Structure 1
Amino acid sequence: MKTDLSPTASASRDLAAESDSAARLGTLGTGALMIAHCAGMVDLVALPVWVGTLIGSYRLDPQQAGLLATLFLVGAVLSSLFFSPRLNRLPARMMATIGFGIATLAFLGVASIGGYPAMAVLHAVAGLAVGCALSFTHGTIGRSRNPHRLFAIAGLALGIFAIAFLGATPGLIAAHGGPTLFRVFAGVMGVATVACALAFPSLRMRRSTAKTDEPRFERTVWFGMVGVSCIALTQAMLFSFVQRIGLDRGFGFNAVTATLIALGFVNLFPAPVAGLLETRIAGRRVVQAGPVVQAVLALIITQSATFVPYAAATAVFAAVMIFTHTFAFGMLARIDRTGRAVAATPAMLMTGAAIGPVLGGTLIKQSGYGSLGVAAVLITVAAVFCFSRLERRPSLSGVQA
């Protein structure tokens, strides 16, 4: 007579089988995830050029420019909040392809259509589309055998993308005008659309995907999510205006552009280093120290009147975010093996990032660039508190990455 497996044993067996399937993504599947990650995280690379172009080429004030970036990010947040709980009930390949396809059309529209209201609507549409695609991308990475390592590889890919983007785009914009930026965005989204359509991994949950089978998030997961949002807020608030800070202080276009290119090269290292140090450094220590380092760099960037401290701090600023978030991603993926928590990565990152540009623009308008450093310190206090509650615990299924 057959005996039924216990629910825990069944879940462990099925999730282990799922992890084995995820481990066999293959070169094409992994490549598609890397391309999708770079396209979906374009704001992390492009914000200073994005906001700088809206101010310099479109003659918007910092608050108006920040609001357009915020509309994109708010759209991504709302989309991620809607789609991440449905990760295991919708076809990932189709949703990622459709999301990036719509984003391609939206950015082409921004490049072609003048007028602030139209730009605002299209930024929001692009954000909704990217948030959908990125949720399925990160959810698929989160269901892999080693989410920390795969996310670290994705971070390396983003660093390579950043070098190409920051090295080429400012010059293209200077030569051909502001709409060039949005044509570049459309090209990036178009490449991601094709890659997802051809090779995005179509992993299926082998256990029942009924809503009642998926446990609620533990409290520690929510603290981790808020902590990620805090460091994303600091990142976006300052990074959106780092180009303008350098230019307005008279450091010169070439020097500031060289600093951004250096930032791209530096960004090659934090993710692979985080992957190598996964088992050598306690993740909880990393995620608590990261926001503190971030705040120190923010103070240097906003208070420095000379080029060298500004350039040094700017070059490593995004690297701190990438390194810290790689550990946070791995910790959240181990706590919640359904992939839903990390599928909400766009919501975590972009909730903070959505507030960042408009908050930064408002602070600058009212109190100058120095106020950004003060705000970064206050946000760091909240981030450290939240991450102090995030610790590695065995998942409900007992399956380890």
Structure 2
Amino acid sequence: MKANLSSAVPVHGDSAAEADAAGQLGTLGIAALMIAHCAGMVDLVALPVWVGTLIGAYGLDPQQAGLLATLFLSGAVASSLFFSPRLNRLPARTMAAIGFGIAALAFLGVVSAGGYPAMAVLHTVAGLAVGCALSFTHGTIGRSRKPHRLFAIAGLALGLFAIAFLGATPGLIAAHGGPTLFRVFAGVMGVAAIACAFAFPSLRAERNTAVAEEPRFERAVWFGMLGVGCMALTQAMLFSFVQRIGLDRGFGLPAVTATLIALGFVNLFPAPVAGLLETRIAGSRVVQAGPVAQAVLAVIITQSLAFAPYALATSVFAAVMIFTHTFAFGMLARIDRTGRAVAATPAMLMTGAAIGPVLGGTLVKQSGYGSLGIAAVLVTIAAVLCFSRLERRPTLSGAQA
């Protein structure tokens, strides 16, 4: 069974007819997109375990561990910036499958890597490959008739994936050693490559002057993208170290692992709730309130010496990002119906996320965990200012995706 998008790519306007022209997605096509989204967004789920494993199992300091995650994310950003403008010119199925396949091989290479330089190169290669695959995944979602709702379903899938990953991986690493993490990553990428090869919705652009004349982004798009990047920076900066914060404050591995599992269960809800509330809450209000809530939680996580506040704030921390980004994705997809803006989602998220681990590691190394909360507040101010520019487009509030 083959799921296809229409061969015509809408490049002007945002009428219902053009939304319909973006095509129908079959069941297998949607499933492939969900798997690809989970694999491509693995950093959003895995950063605490990723950085924690590099520190605890490989003996790296916070700055070195953060740098490896940053190299992966930087590669994804560079790749997304290159491929997202070419969304409607390249075969999406082929690019997604190849991207995840290369990422699987790169992570397998990390398992047997002989030292830090080799690990750094392989992290970068994996990031480049994932950024390519994820750009075509999000671009395809953005060109669907209901991008907000489809992205909400993708968020629910990511929440289910998070439960499985955070519930199983820390125990496997404890039992079998640090390289197990990268075997798991390779397996996730391999499954995504197979799913994309057999079921990814085909996205074929008409090679005519319409594609060549795709309009420039509106200014609101650029500010919206920057706002998402700011939230991703705070997310990565804090989330990379929540495991180490809990362990270093003596909460114990079982308690911290339970908190991360609770986080996975909580993450089941924000995306579907955001889908249900699409026409009931003004998106411009959501994207401005989200960064503020994120900063408050960041301060609680970094300042609390008691387990209960730490656990509560940590368990809902990622949910704020998922809920807010679902609205931001839908808003950006409606502004730019060509899909190119949301195809750059990896660049939006991972520009901030790439800076986050190494910035967080540097701050922790120099000033302790408390400095992460202060930095989060400063980044939040920038995010709110950026998202406020989307409020100037009143037609977005409550609009149908």
Is TM > 0.5 for Structure 1 vs Structure 2?
yes
d(CA) in 2 for partners of 1:394 and 1:99? Answer: 36
d(CA) in 2 for partners of 1:272 and 1:73? Answer: 26
d(CA) in 2 for partners of 1:375 and 1:235? Answer: 11
Is the 1:334–1:394 Cα contact (8 Å) retained in structure 2? no
- Residue aligning to 2:223: 223
**Could you tell me how far 1:12 is from its partner in structure 2?**
5.7
Deviations 1:195-244 (A, max 9, x none): 00000000334584655420000000000000000000000000000000
State how many pairs are aligned.
Answer: 389
TM-score by structure 1 length?
0.94
- Residue aligning to 1:233: 233
**Could you tell me how far 1:26 is from its partner in structure 2?**
1.1
Change (3 A) 1:62 1:213: same
Change (3 A) 1:342 1:393: farther
**Could you tell me how far 1:155 is from its partner in structure 2?**
0.1
Deviations 1:259-309 (A, max 9, x none): 000000000000000000000000000000000000000000000000000
- Residue aligning to 1:57: 57
Is the 1:162–1:264 Cα contact (8 Å) retained in structure 2? yes
d(CA) in 2 for partners of 1:110 and 1:341? Answer: 32
Is the 1:302–1:373 Cα contact (8 Å) retained in structure 2? yes
- Residue aligning to 2:160: 160
TM-score by structure 2 length?
0.94
Q: Kindly report which structure 2 residues correspond to 1:328-367, keeping only aligned pairs within 5 A, or say none.
A: 328-367=328-367
Letter in 2 for 1:29: G
- Residue aligning to 2:20: 20
Q: What is the Cα-based RMSD across aligned positions, in Å?
A: 1.8
d(CA) in 1 for partners of 2:73 and 2:323? Answer: 21
Deviations 1:125-175 (A, max 9, x none): 000000000000000000000100000000000000000000000000000
Is the 1:233–1:356 Cα contact (8 Å) retained in structure 2? yes
- Residue aligning to 1:6: none
Is the 1:229–1:348 Cα contact (8 Å) retained in structure 2? yes
- Residue aligning to 1:36: 36
1:388 correspondence with 2:388: yes
Identity %: 86
Unpaired stretches in structure 1, ≥5 consecutive residues: 1-8
Is the 2:166–2:260 Cα contact (8 Å) retained in structure 1? yes
**Could you tell me how far 1:19 is from its partner in structure 2?**
3.5
Change (3 A) 1:19 1:78: same
**Could you tell me how far 1:10 is from its partner in structure 2?**
9.6
d(CA) in 1 for partners of 2:207 and 2:334? Answer: 18
Change (3 A) 1:209 1:302: farther
d(CA) in 2 for partners of 1:292 and 1:246? Answer: 23
Change (3 A) 1:267 1:285: same
d(CA) in 2 for partners of 1:29 and 1:21? Answer: 17
- Residue aligning to 1:81: 81
Higher deviation after alignment, 231-240 or 195-204: 195-204
Letter in 1 for 2:353: A
Letter in 2 for 1:244: R
Change (3 A) 1:216 1:319: same
Deviations 1:96-133 (A, max 9, x none): 00000000000000011120000000000000000000
1:123 correspondence with 2:123: yes
- Residue aligning to 2:303: 303
d(CA) in 2 for partners of 1:138 and 1:178? Answer: 31
Is the 2:363–2:369 Cα contact (8 Å) retained in structure 1? yes
Q: Kindly report which structure 2 residues correspond to 1:80-229, keeping only aligned pairs within 5 A, or say none.
A: 80-205=80-205, 208=208, 210-229=210-229
Letter in 1 for 2:119: M
Is the 2:279–2:400 Cα contact (8 Å) retained in structure 1? no
- Residue aligning to 1:252: 252
Deviations 1:46-96 (A, max 9, x none): 000000000000000000000000000000000000000000000000000
Is the 1:21–1:203 Cα contact (8 Å) retained in structure 2? no
Change (3 A) 1:343 1:354: same
Is the 1:148–1:326 Cα contact (8 Å) retained in structure 2? yes
Change (3 A) 1:365 1:139: same
1:294 correspondence with 2:294: yes
d(CA) in 1 for partners of 2:101 and 2:168? Answer: 23
Change (3 A) 1:62 1:242: same
d(CA) in 2 for partners of 1:153 and 1:355? Answer: 28
- Residue aligning to 1:321: 321
d(CA) in 2 for partners of 1:340 and 1:246? Answer: 40
d(CA) in 1 for partners of 2:139 and 2:48? Answer: 28
Unpaired stretches in structure 2, ≥5 consecutive residues: 1-9
